[in-house]
C-alpha cells in the first residue's frame, strides 16, 4: 500500500499536483462552515466589491453583497458530492453491465452494445436536461440523469477487459469446478476488471461536475443551493462590468476537474501500467 502510494507520487509531478488540488478542494468541502462562516446566501457587505478591495471579503461580493469566497467554499461541497456520487453510481452500474456483457457474450452482449450505442447517439446533455426537467432538480435526480448517460462509457471499457480475461486459465478453472455464473462473475471476473474501473471513477466524477455546473448555469439546478454553476449564471448578468463574478467560480470548476483528471491519469499509470491513458 505504502509502496503503491510512493510509486503513484513518483509517477510524475502531474499526479502530485492533482492530488494536492483534490485534497484542498476536499478540505474546503469538509471544513466549509469553519473556513467560511458566512452563509453564502447572506448579505455581508456592499454589493460589487472587487476581489482584494476589502479584506473581510477576499474574493469580493456579488450584486446583492453576498460573499463570493463563501460561495466558492460551500459550492465545493455540492460539486464534490455530485461528482463522487455520480462517479461511483455510474461506475458500479457500468461495471456490472459491462462485465455481464463481456462474460456471457452472445445476445446479452449484443443487446448491451446496441443500447450503449444509443446513448452515444442521443445528445447526453439534452437527455440529462430532460430527465432533470421532468423529475425535478434534487441532487439524487441530477446524479441519476448523469449516470443514465454515463454508464455506457464504463461498460464498454469493462466489457473489453472482461473479454480479455474470460478465456484466462483461472476463469476456465472456476467453470470446470462447477461454480455458478454469478459466483464466477463476482468473485473471479469483477476483481480483475476493477482497476480500470477505479480510474473511470475520477474521469466520470470530473465530467459529472462539469455537467452539474452546466445544469446549474442554465438554471436547472436546485435554487436553494449556491453552486459554482449557479454563481456563474448569476455573474453572467453583469458580465460586461463585474466579470470577476463569473471568472472566479469558473476557475474553481476548472481547477477541480483538472485535479480529478490528473489523479485519474496517475492512477491509470499505476493500476494499468501496460495500457496508455484513455482519452
> Which residues contact other proteins (rule: CB under 8 A)?
114-115, 117-118, 120-127, 129-131, 133-136, 167, 172, 206, 210, 213-214, 217-220, 229, 232, 236, 239-240, 243, 246-247, 250, 253-255, 257-258, 260-262, 265, 279
Shorter beta-carbon distance to other proteins: residue 44 or 146 = 146
User: Considering the complex, what minimum distance in angstroms separates the CB of residue 122 from other proteins?
Assistant: 5
192 contact partners, CB below 8 Å, separation of at least 6: 161, 165
Shorter beta-carbon distance to other proteins: residue 63 or 239 = 239
User: Considering the complex, what minimum distance in angstroms separates the CB of residue 34 from other proteins?
Assistant: 28
Shorter beta-carbon distance to other proteins: residue 162 or 213 = 213
User: Considering the complex, what minimum distance in angstroms separates the CB of residue 20 from other proteins?
Assistant: 15
What's the grid cell of residue 95?
A: 461495471
What's the grid cell of residue 125?
A: 446533455
Shorter beta-carbon distance to other proteins: residue 14 or 194 = 14
Shorter beta-carbon distance to other proteins: residue 58 or 219 = 219
61 phi, psi to nearest 5 deg = -130, 165
For 189, other C-beta atoms within 10 Å of its C-beta total 24
User: Considering the complex, what minimum distance in angstroms separates the CB of residue 252 from other proteins?
Assistant: 10
User: Considering the complex, what minimum distance in angstroms separates the CB of residue 10 from other proteins?
Assistant: 19
User: Considering the complex, what minimum distance in angstroms separates the CB of residue 190 from other proteins?
Assistant: 21
Shorter beta-carbon distance to other proteins: residue 44 or 209 = 209
Please tell me the distance from the alpha carbon of residue 26 to that of residue 42, in angstroms, as a whole number: 23
278 contact partners, CB below 8 Å, separation of at least 6: 157, 199, 203, 268
Amino acid at each position: 500500500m505504502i509502496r503503491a502510494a510512493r510509486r503513484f507520487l513518483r509517477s510524475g509531478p502531474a499526479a502530485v499536483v492533482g492530488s494536492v488540488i483534490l485534497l484542498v478542494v476536499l478540505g474546503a468541502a469538509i471544513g466549509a462552515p469553519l473556513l467560511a462562516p458566512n452563509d453564502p446566501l447572506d448579505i455581508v457587505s456592499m454589493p460589487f466589491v472587487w476581489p482584494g478591495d476589502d479584506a473581510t471579503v477576499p474574493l469580493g461580493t456579488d450584486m446583492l453583497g453576498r460573499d463570493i469566497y463563501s460561495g466558492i467554499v460551500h459550492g465545493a461541497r455540492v460539486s464534490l458530492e455530485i461528482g463522487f456520487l455520480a462517479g461511483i453510481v455510474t461506475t458500479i452500474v457500468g461495471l456490472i453491465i459491462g462485465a455481464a456483457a463481456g462474460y456471457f457474450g452472445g445476445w446479452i452482449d449484443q443487446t448491451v452494445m446496441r443500447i450503449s450505442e444509443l446513448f452515444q447517439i442521443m445528445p447526453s446533455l439534452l437527455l440529462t436536461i430532460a430527465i432533470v426537467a421532468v423529475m425535478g432538480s434534487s441532487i439524487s435526480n441530477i446524479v441519476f440523469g448523469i449516470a443514465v448517460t454515463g454508464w455506457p462509457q464504463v461498460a464498454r471499457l469493462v466489457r473489453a477487459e472482461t473479454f480479455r480475461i474470460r478465456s484466462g486459465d483461472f476463469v476456465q478453472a472456476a467453470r470446470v469446478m462447477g461454480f455458478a455464473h454469478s459466483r464466477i462473475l463476482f468473485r473471479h471476473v469483477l476483481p480483475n476488471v476493477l482497476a480500470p474501473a477505479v480510474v473511470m471513477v475520477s474521469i466520470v466524477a470530473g465530467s459529472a461536475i462539469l455537467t452539474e455546473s452546466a445544469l446549474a448555469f442554465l438554471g436547472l439546478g436546485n435554487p436553494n443551493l449556491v453552486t459554482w454553476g449557479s454563481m456563474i449564471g448569476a455573474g453572467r448578468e453583469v458580465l460586461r462590468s463585474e466579470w470577476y463574478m463569473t471568472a472566479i467560480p469558473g476557475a474553481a470548476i476548472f481547477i477541480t476537474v483538472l485535479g480529478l483528471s490528473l489523479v485519474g491519469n496517475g492512477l491509470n499509470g499505476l493500476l494499468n501500467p501496460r495500457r496508455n491513458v484513455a482519452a
